[in-house]
Amino acid sequence: MITKVCVYPGTFDPVHYGHIDIVKRALNVFENVIVAIAENPKKKPLFSIDERVDMFRESIKEFSDRVIVESFEGLLINFMRKYNTKIIVRGVRLFTDFEYELQIAMTNYNLDKVETFFLMPSQELIHISSSIVKDVALHHGDLSKMVHPYVEKKLREKFKV
């Protein structure tokens, strides 16, 4: 099966420039990227699913003709059937990321022959994680090089800073 569509799943709590970089890189390979935002209550997200979808959409407006942002619950492979694709794109920053992502990739392959492409963010973004973004926001730090201005505004509102 040859596809022009990939799915980029995650919790994205919140979306940051590393995530956006992965979307841009995926658009160099695929015609369309479906950003699949997981409900994932196990992670106890700071932002609701609707807020996360909204922030991601706002952050990628310039690519909105090629990127779709949607939420999903349950198994990712079930969500992917809606778009008739078996391609996942995942960002990996560190070796520890890769260990975890490899387990998930092998599970998805065994469940439904889904292939996973691992992409690294740009060197200047590789250190950013959603946890770090939230910590910097909580402590009134400069977020301008980490997140889109809209996301920064939402973080400031959430932390009332």
Termini Cα distance of the chain: 49
Q: What element of type H or E holds 116?
A: strand 115-119
Distances (CA, A) of 59 to 44, 54, 135, 153: 22, 9, 20, 12
Catalytic member of 24, 25, 52, 130: 130
Q: Has 130 been annotated as catalytic?
A: yes
Residue 66 marked in a binding site: no
Residue 52 marked in a binding site: no
Catalytic member of 43, 81, 82, 140: 43
Report whether 4 contacts 31 (CB < 8 A): yes
C-beta atoms surrounding 77 within 10 Å: 17
Q: What element of type H or E holds 54?
A: helix 49-59
Residue 161 marked in a binding site: no
Residue 85 marked in a binding site: no
Residue 74 marked in a binding site: no
Residue 27 marked in a binding site: no
Catalytic member of 66, 93, 153, 158: 93
Residue 11 marked in a binding site: yes
Residue 127 marked in a binding site: yes
Q: Has 139 been annotated as catalytic?
A: no
Closest CA to 68 of 38, 34, 24: 34
Q: Has 148 been annotated as catalytic?
A: no
Q: Which two tokens stand for residue 75?
A: 């198994």
Closest CA to 90 of 38, 144, 133, 47: 38
Catalytic member of 19, 25, 134, 148: 19
Residue 76 marked in a binding site: yes
Residue 125 marked in a binding site: yes
State the binding site for ATP.
Answer: 11-12, 19, 91-93, 101, 125-131
Residues recognised as catalytic: 19, 43, 93, 130
Annotated binding site for substrate: 11, 43, 76, 90
- Residues annotated within the binding site are 11-12, 19, 43, 76, 90-93, 101, 125-131
